[in-house]
Chains A and B, each alone.
Chain A
Amino acid sequence: MFLPGLNILGKIGALEIVLIVVIALVLLVILWIILISNSFKRNIVKIQEADSGIDVALTKRYDLLTKALDTARAYAKHEKETIYEVIKLRQGMTLDEKANAAAKLDKMGNNVNVLAEAYPELRSSEVFVSLQSSITDSEEHLQAARRLYNSNVSQLNQRLVSFPSSVIGRMLNLTQQKFFEAEQQKTQDVKISL
C-alpha cells in the first residue's frame, strides 16, 4: 500500500538524519532531566512530611508525659524536692533541637517510671497505667517517625552522591541532609516540678 509520507524519506539527506537524531537525543536528555528533578522534589517533600511526622510524635509524647506527671502529682504531695520542667517544644525546630527534645523526653519518661516505682499506689492507678501504655506507644511512633525520616534522607543522599543523578542534584543546588540521631544526654538533666 502506498504511503505518501514514506516518499519523503527518500528525499532526506544524511545531514537531516543526523539532525533528527541529535534533536531526539536532546529531547530525551531534557525529559530525563525533568524526571530526575521531579523525583528529587518528591524526595524533598517526603523528607518534609517525615519531619512533620517527627513533630507530631514529639508533641504527642510530650503531652502524654505531662499528663502522667500531673497524675503523679496527686500521689507525691509530700515530696519536698522541687524540680522543674525545661522542655520547650515549638514550631520550626531544627533537627538538632528536635533530637535534643527527644533526649529530654526520654529522660522525662525515665523519671515517670522512677516515680511509679517509688509510689506503689500510683502504679495501681488505672489512669496512670493507661498513660504508661500510651507513652510506650508514643515512643514507638517517635521511633517510626525517626526511621522514616532517616530512610528518606538516606535515599536523597545516595542519589546526590551517585552519578548521573548527582549532576541534576548540583544543578538544583541540593545538599546532603542530616540524619535524625538520638542525642545522648548532651543537655542538663530534665527537671520536673511536682
Chain B
Amino acid sequence: MDNFITEIDKMRKEMLRSFILSFIPFFAGMLTAITIHIVSYYYQLEIKEYIGYAVAVFIIGMAISIYLSIFWATSKYKIYVSKYKNEIVKSSLESVFANVVFEPEKCFDKEFIAQTFMIPIGNVFKGDDKVTAEYKGVQFTRCDLTVQNVTSTGKSTSVVTYFMGQWIVLDFHKKIETNLQIREREFNSAAKGFGLFSRAPKMEYVKTESIDFNKKFAVFAEDPHSAFYIITPHFMEVLFKLQAAIDGQFILGFVGGLLHIAIHTNQNVFQPPIISAVSPTEKDKMLAQTYIITQLIDELNINLIRQEK
C-alpha cells in the first residue's frame, strides 16, 4: 500500500509541477515586455516602435500558458484525480461495503433532490462521486452535492450556498406513506416554509416528549403518528450520537419510502489533496466519511429487521 500511495503522490507532484510550468511562458512574456519597455525608455528609443514587440511577446507568452494549462496541466490533474478516486477511494469503500459501484462523474438528478423539499434548489446544482453499495444487506446510494444560488446585478455577483456535502439515500426498514423531516436546528439552509403557496407537502411541526431532542432537532410531518412511529427513544439516541460525531449539520427526510440524509459539511469529501501530500491515512479519511451510514444501519439494526421480514 505504501508504494501505491507513493506512486499516487508522485502523480500529484507532477500535476502541481505541470501547473507551475504552464505559467512560466506567461511570466516570461510579461518580463520580456517590461524589459523591452524599460530598455527603450532608458535608451530614449522611440517607444511606439517597440511597444508592438512588447505586446506581441506578452500575448504569445499568455497564449502558450493557456494552451499548456488546458491541454497539459489539466489533463495531468484529471489523470491524478481519476487514479486517486478509482484506486484509493474505491478500494477504501470496498473494504467496508459490498457490491460497490463507484461513478465519479455522476450524482442524483436535480428533480430527485427537489422532490424531497429538504433544501432550497438554487440555480447551480452540481454533484459527483456517486457510490452505490451494500452494507450488511442494506443497499444505499450516496454522492457529493453542491447546491447554490448565484445572482448577478451587473455590478456584483452574490453566491449563496444552500448545501455542500454528502447526500445519502437508503431503504429504511419502517415504511411510512407520508413525508417526514427531522432537521438539526443549526442547519440554517434547510428549506423554509410549508405555506399556502408552496409546492411542498403540508407538514406540521411535531413536538416530541424529549425536551433535549426538541432543542436540537425540529420535526415536521404530514402525519404526526408517523413521526412518533419513526422517532422512537432509541432513534433519538442514535441521532444524538450522529450529531456529536458529524462535523456539520444534517437533515433526515423520509420521502417515498426512502430515507434521505443530507449532511452539510461545506466540503467535497472524496476530493484528493492538491497541495498537501497523499498520506497512508487516506483510507481512514475515506472511511470516516462513511461512518454515518454504518452507524445508522448498525445502531438501528436495519439489516436484522429486514432479515426477519
Binding site for B on A (CB under 8 A): 50, 53, 129-130, 132-133, 136-137, 140-141, 143-145, 147-148, 150-151, 154-155
Residues of B within 8 Å of A137, CB to CB, are 174
Q: Mark B226-259, 1 if CB is under 8 A from A, else 0.
A: 1011001000000000000000000000000000
Report if B2 contacts A (CB, 8 A): no
Q: Which residue of A lies closest to B175 (CB)?
A: A137
Contact of A140 with B225 in the complex, beta carbons under 8 Å = no
Distance in angstroms from B233 CB to nearest chain A CB is 9
Categorize the interface residue count of chain B: 10 to 19
Report if B309 contacts A (CB, 8 A): yes
Contacts beyond the supplied A140-B232, A148-B224: 12 A-B pairs with Cβ under 8 Å: A50-B225, A53-B225, A132-B308, A133-B309, A143-B228, A143-B232, A144-B229, A148-B228, A151-B208, A151-B209, A151-B224, A155-B207
Residues of B within 8 Å of A53, CB to CB, are 225
Residues of B within 8 Å of A136, CB to CB, are 308
Q: Which residue of B lies closest to A142 (CB)?
A: B229
Q: Which residue of B lies closest to A56 (CB)?
A: B225
State the CA gap A140–B208 with chains docked (Å). Answer: 16
Residues of A within 8 Å of B207, CB to CB, are 151, 155
State the CA gap A141–B232 with chains docked (Å). Answer: 11
Contact of A141 with B308 in the complex, beta carbons under 8 Å = no
Contact of A144 among B228, B308, B309 (CB under 8 A): B228
Contact of B225 with A144 in the complex, beta carbons under 8 Å = yes
Contact of B308 among A129, A145, A147, A148 (CB under 8 A): A129
Residues of A within 8 Å of B224, CB to CB, are 148, 151
Contact of A147 with B309 in the complex, beta carbons under 8 Å = no
Contact of B209 with A133 in the complex, beta carbons under 8 Å = no
Distance in angstroms from B49 CB to nearest chain A CB is 71
Contact of B225 among A133, A145, A154, A155 (CB under 8 A): A145
State the CA gap A190–B174 with chains docked (Å). Answer: 30
Contact of A148 with B232 in the complex, beta carbons under 8 Å = no
The 11 listed contacts between A and B (C-beta, < 8 Å) are A132-B308, A133-B308, A140-B229, A140-B232, A141-B229, A143-B232, A144-B226, A148-B228, A151-B224, A151-B228, A154-B209
Residues of A within 8 Å of B308, CB to CB, are 129, 132-133, 136
Residues of A within 8 Å of B309, CB to CB, are 130, 133
Distance in angstroms from A68 CB to nearest chain B CB is 14
State the CA gap A145–B229 with chains docked (Å). Answer: 8
Residues of B within 8 Å of A150, CB to CB, are 209
Residues of B within 8 Å of A143, CB to CB, are 228, 232
Distance in angstroms from A185 CB to nearest chain B CB is 22
Distance in angstroms from B305 CB to nearest chain A CB is 8
State the CA gap A101–B208 with chains docked (Å). Answer: 25
Residues of B within 8 Å of A144, CB to CB, are 225-226, 228-229
State the CA gap A28–B147 with chains docked (Å). Answer: 45
State the CA gap A132–B309 with chains docked (Å). Answer: 9
3 tightest Cβ-Cβ pairs between the two chains A and B? A144-B228, A144-B229, A147-B228
Distance in angstroms from A77 CB to nearest chain B CB is 27
Residues of A within 8 Å of B228, CB to CB, are 143-145, 147-148, 151
Distance in angstroms from A95 CB to nearest chain B CB is 18
State the CA gap A151–B309 with chains docked (Å). Answer: 31
Distance in angstroms from A66 CB to nearest chain B CB is 21
State the CA gap A57–B225 with chains docked (Å). Answer: 11
Residues of B within 8 Å of A132, CB to CB, are 308
State the CA gap A54–B207 with chains docked (Å). Answer: 18
State the CA gap A147–B232 with chains docked (Å). Answer: 10
Distance in angstroms from A136 CB to nearest chain B CB is 8
Residues of B within 8 Å of A50, CB to CB, are 225
Distance in angstroms from A98 CB to nearest chain B CB is 16
Residues of A within 8 Å of B225, CB to CB, are 50, 53, 141, 144-145, 148
Distance in angstroms from B110 CB to nearest chain A CB is 34
State the CA gap A96–B173 with chains docked (Å). Answer: 32
State the CA gap A148–B227 with chains docked (Å). Answer: 9
Residues of B within 8 Å of A129, CB to CB, are 308
